[in-house]
């Protein structure tokens, strides 16, 4: 599970449908094309929408029943996206070095991960090209299993590609 139930969602977005790939809840969904949402393969130029609240799976209705007691939906379903609020997720970029501290900015990384290190432009080393998605309001928890553990993020997503100088 990549999203803990400890969350406050102030606004949701259900204007987008899932693309052709499975996604685990807790990552940052970006606009793929039209009204399709998916995890961005590259943070540069991505337009983040919010945190995915449900798992998207390739369900096979011929061999099994629909998972009624799990928060899983089929590919092509409408996405439940937290656009504003606070969530606790473990979708943290494994390339983060050191620890996460409360107050650190949260940026979109590849594959829907969240990172503390922004991606810079190849031509201008002061131009940040990865969108900021919020701020960490807790450090990473010391109970580390796979990856960095869990961190609480306050979403501050503005629609549109927003590039800022460092």
Domain containing 81 equals 8-165
More confident: 95 or 133:
133
- pLDDT value at residue 154: 92
* Neighbour-count burial of 69, counting CB atoms closer than 10 A to its CB (0-12 exposed, 13-18 middle, 19+ buried): exposed
Q: Is residue 140 part of a domain?
A: yes
- pLDDT value at residue 85: 92
- pLDDT value at residue 164: 45
For residues 45-60, give the mean pLDDT: 84
pLDDT at 67 over 70: no
Percent of the chain with pLDDT over 70: 81
Q: Is residue 1 part of a domain?
A: no
- pLDDT value at residue 136: 92
- pLDDT value at residue 139: 77
| Beta bridge partner(s), residue 13 | 81
Q: What is the pTM of this model?
A: 0.81
Domain total of the chain: 1
- pLDDT value at residue 32: 67
What is the chain written as a DSSP string? --B-S--EEEEEE---EE-SS-B-TTSEEEEEETTEEE--S-STT--EEEEE-SEEE---TTTS---SSS-EEETTSBP-EEEEEEEEE--B-TT--S---TT-EEEE-GGG-EESSPPBPSS-TTEE-SPEEEEE-SPPPS--SSTT--EEEEEE--SS---EE-
Q: Is residue 2 part of a domain?
A: no
């Amino acid at each position: 599970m990549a999203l803990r139930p400890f969350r406050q969602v102030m606004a949701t977005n259900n204007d987008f449908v899932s693309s052709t790939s499975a996604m685990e809840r807790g990552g940052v969904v970006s606009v793929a094309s039209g009204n399709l949402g998916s995890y961005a393969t590259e943070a540069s130029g991505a337009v983040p929408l919010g945190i995915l609240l449900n798992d998207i799976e390739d369900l096979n209705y011929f061999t099994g029943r629909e998972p009624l007691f799990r928060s899983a939906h089929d590919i092509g379903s409408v996405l439940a996206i937290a656009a504003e609020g606070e969530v606790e997720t473990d979708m943290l970029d494994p390339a983060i070095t050191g620890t996460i501290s409360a107050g650190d900015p949260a940026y979109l990384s590849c594959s829907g991960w969240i990172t503390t290190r922004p991606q810079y432009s190849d031509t201008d080393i002061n131009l940040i090209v990865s969108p900021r998605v919020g701020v960490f309001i807790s450090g990473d928890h010391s109970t580390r299993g796979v990856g960095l553990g869990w961190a609480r993020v306050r979403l501050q997503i503005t629609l549109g590609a927003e590039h800022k100088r460092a």
